[in-house]
A and B are shown apart, each in its own frame.
Chain A
Amino acid sequence: MSDGIRKEPVPQESEAARAQQQEEDIRVREAIKTAELENVREHHRQAKAPLVRMVKRDDISRKKAVVIRLAAVVCALVTGGLLILALGHNPISVYAEMVVGSLGSTTVLQETIRNAIPLLITSMAVSLAFRMRFWNIGAEGQILAGAVAASYVALFLSESLGHVPSLLIMAVVAVVAGGLYGMIPAVFRAKWNTNETLFTLMLNYIALCFVKYLQNGPWRDPALNGFPKIAMFGSEARLPKLFGVNIGWIIALVLVVLVSIYLTRTKQGYEISVVGESSNTARYAGINVTKVMLRTMFISGALAGLVGFIQVSGADFTLSENTTGGVGFTAITVAWMSKLNPPVMLIVAFFIAMLTKGAGRIQTAFKIPASAANVLIGIILFFLLGCEFFINYKLVWRKKQTAGAPPKETAKEAVNNG
C-alpha cells in the first residue's frame, strides 16, 4: 500500500522517460529474440539439422520428371535383377522372356490386351470418384454387381433374346446394377457423412458373398452333380471377338476418349474437380455437392459394372467368385500411377497387364515360383509408385561447410544435388 503511494507520482513525473524505457525494453527483448533465433538457426545448421529434409516441389520440369521416372525403372530392373540372380537365373534373359511372353506373338499379345481391358475401364471408374476425393475402393463389389446382373440375363433370358439383344440388355443391366451399387455409399455419405472408404470396402465382401451364395445355391449348374459352379453361358451371351480379342477392347478405347472429354471438357467434369478441391468452395460457387457426389458415384459404379459384363461375357463365360480377379484393387494402383488421367491409364493398364502376363510366362519358362514372380511385379510397382514421391518432393541434404553459407545457396545446391 505504502509502495503504491510512493510510486504513484513517478509515472506522472516522467511520462516520456517511461515511454523511452519501454521502447528500450522492447528493443532489448527483440535483440535477445533475434540473437536466440540466430542461435537456434546456427544450432540447426550445425548439429540438429536433419541429415535430409523433404521439401515440397512447387513445379518440376518435364525433363526432370522423365529423368526421375527413368531412374526408377532402372532401379526397379536392377533390384528385380538381384532377386532373379538370387533365384539362380540370368536377369536379362528373364526380362527378355517377360517381354517376349507378353508381346512376342499374336496369341500372347491378345491375352495381354484381354487382361488390360478390365484394368483400364476399372481404373477410369475409380478415378472418377478419386477426382472428387471420394475414396471408392469398392470397384470389386461394383464389378460383381454388374456381373451378377449380366449373368442373370445370360443364364435365364439370352436364349430367347438372341445374340445382339441379349448382349445389349446384359450391358445395360450391368451398368445400372453397378451404378446403383456404387451409389449406396454415396447416399450414406451425403445423408449421414459415413466413411466411404470403409463403406465401399465392406460392400465388396457383401457382393462376393452374394456371388458365392448364387454359386452354391440357386444358380448352381444342375448338370454338374452338385459341383458348385454356375453354368457356362451360351453362345448368344458371349461377346464377339475382333482381331482375336473380345470387343471389350473397343469399348475400353471409346471410354478412354469419352471419360477424358467428360472430365476436362464438360461442366459436370469441372464440378467433379471443384468438389475434389474443396467441397466448401463448391458449395459457395453454387454447386450441389450431394448431387455431384451421387451422380459421379453412379457413373463410377456403372463403369465398374460394365467391366463385370465384359468379364463374364468376354473372358470367363460364367460368373464365379473369382470373376474380378483382384482387378478392383489393382485398378487403384493404375489410377494413381496415371495421376487419374485416362489416356495415361491406357499405357499403365497395358503395362501392368504385360507384367502379369510376363510373370506367368517366366513361371513356365524358368520354373520361377508364382510367388517370386509376384514379388518381382511388386518390386517394379514399388519403384514406379515410389518415384512419384521424388517428383512431388525434393530432398534437401544437410550442408557440410555451414559457416557463412547463406541459406539461399544451400537451397540452390540442394536442387542441384536432387
Chain B
Amino acid sequence: MKKLLAVLLAALMLFAVVGCSSEPAANDGGDDQNVEGAQTGEELTKDNIKIGFIYIGDASDGGYSYTHIQGTQKMKETLGLSDDQIVEKFNITEDAACETAINELIEAGCNAIFGTSFGYDAYMLAAAEAHPEIQFFHASGTQCGQSGLENAHNYFGKIYEARYLAGIAAGLKTETNVLGYVTAMPFAECISGFTAFYLGAKSVNPDVTMKVMYTNSWADATKEAQVAQALIDAGCDVLSLHADTTSTVTTAEANGVWACGYNSDMALAAPDAVLVSAVWDWSQYLVMAVNEMLGGEAVPADYTAGLSEGFVDITEVTDVCAEGTAEAIAEAREKIESGWNVFSGPIHGVAADGTEINLAEGEEFVEPLSAPSWTYIVDGIEVIE
C-alpha cells in the first residue's frame, strides 16, 4: 500500500513539475500571439494573419454551416494561408457562449473574427467595441455594419437572385401548377427567398401558385420530411426549401416529384428529383475582406453581392429539368447581371403585421442592407400555419 502510494505521489509530482515547466513556455507562446494580434503597430501579412470563425453548426449539417466552412477552406487556399492561421469554433449557440467563443478566438491571437449566425449580432458588436484592434465580420446581421465602428462589418449575399433562377426551373417543370416550399421561420431571409423563387416561377408560368409551410427550426430532418410530405399531399409537385437538411429533396424523390435544393448541390442527395440548387460561395467575400486587412482594396462596412460577383449561384441545370430551362435561366441571369432587380413591379404583398407593398410596373424594391428585410407575402403564395 505504502509503495503504491509512493509511486502515485511520485507520478503526480512528475506531472506537476513537467506541467509547471511547460506552462511558462505555453504562456510565452500565447503572449507572442497576442502581440501579433493585438498590436496595431505590427503590419499584418499573409504569414502572420490569424482568422477566427464562429459557426452555429458544423459541417455535418450539409447545409448552412457546411457552405460557410467550404467558403473558409476556399478562402484559405485562394490566399495561400496555412492551417494554423484559421481557427474555427463550431456549434456555438446565440448567447453568452458566443461571447466566450469570441474571447477564446482573441486569446488564440486572431486578428479577424467572422461570425456566421444572425443571433450573434449583439455579442459581435460588443466585442468590436471592446477590441478596436480586431476586425469583426458578421454574416446576415444588421448591427455591425450600421454601428459606425471601423472594425465592425456585415456581409450577406443576394441569395434571392439565385432563388429566382431556381424558381424558373420549377415553374417550367410543374404539372399541377402548385409549388411547395419548406421553410424554417417566418424570417425576412426566408420570406425574401421564397418570394424570389415564386416570382421566378411565375415569370415563366403565369398560372403557378405556391404553398409555404414553416418548420420553426433551422435543422430538423424529421420535421422537414413531414412538412415536405404534407405539401406533396396537398398537390405540390415541385418543392424547394430554406432549412439546413436534405430531407425535403429526398422526400420529393421518394414521392416521385421534383425539388430545387438550397445551400449545397442537393442533386447529390436526390439525383432523380433535383432540378437545380441555389448555392453560396462565401469565399467571394472572405477573400476580399482578408485582402482588405492585408492592405488591399477597401470593402464596404455592409457588403452584399449576388450572381454577377459569384457570391451566390445555381448549380448546373440537370437532365431532370423541363426542356428550355437552361435557355430561360440563361436569359434571366443575363438580365439580373445587367442590374435588373428581382423585386420589380407589378408586385402586391402583405406582411404579417399588416403593412402592404404595392409595386407598380417599373417600380422596384431595393434591399437597404445586405441582410434581407422583405417580409411581404405576395399574391399567389399561401402560407399554411
Contact = CB atoms under 8 A, between A and B. Distances in A.
Q: State whether these chains interact.
A: yes
Interface of A: 67, 70-71, 73-74, 77, 92-93, 95-97, 99-101, 104-105, 107-108, 111, 114-115, 216, 222, 224-229, 232, 311, 315-318, 320, 322-323, 325, 357, 360-361, 363-365, 367, 370, 416-418
Contacts, number: 124
Contacts of A105: 107
Given A67-B8, A226-B375, A316 B96 contact: yes
A51 to B, nearest CB: 19
Most buried by B among A100, A222, A325: A100
A93 B187 contact: no
B22 interface: yes
B8 A74 contact: yes
Contacts of B108: 364-365
A418 B4 CA distance: 10
Nearest to B184: A228
From A71, A105, A227, A370, name the one whose CB has the most chain B CB atoms within 10 angstroms.
Answer: A227
A93 B375 contact: no
A361 B109 CA distance: 12
Contacts of B96: 114, 311, 315-316, 325
Contacts of A229: 94, 118-119
23 contacts: A70-B12, A71-B8, A74-B15, A92-B18, A96-B19, A100-B27, A101-B104, A107-B107, A115-B100, A216-B185, A225-B189, A225-B371, A228-B216, A315-B96, A320-B94, A323-B95, A325-B97, A360-B101, A364-B52, A364-B89, A364-B104, A364-B105, A416-B1
Contacts of A107: 103, 107
A370 B166 CA distance: 37
A216 B218 CA distance: 13
Nearest to A357: B100
B11 interface: yes
Contact of A93 (B11, B22, B52): B22
Say which size band chain B's interface belongs to: 35 or more
B91 interface: yes
B95 A318 contact: yes
Contacts of B254: none
A107 B127 CA distance: 13
Nearest to A107: B103
A361 B27 contact: no
Contacts of B12: 70, 73-74
A224 to B, nearest CB: 8
A322 B97 contact: yes
Given A71-B8, A232-B122, A225 B19 contact: no
Contacts of B19: 92, 95-96, 99
Nearest to B216: A216
B244 to A, nearest CB: 15
Interface in B143-174: none
A291 B195 CA distance: 60
A317 B122 contact: yes
Contact of B188 (A95, A115, A225, A316): A225
Given A74-B8, A225-B187, A99 B23 contact: yes
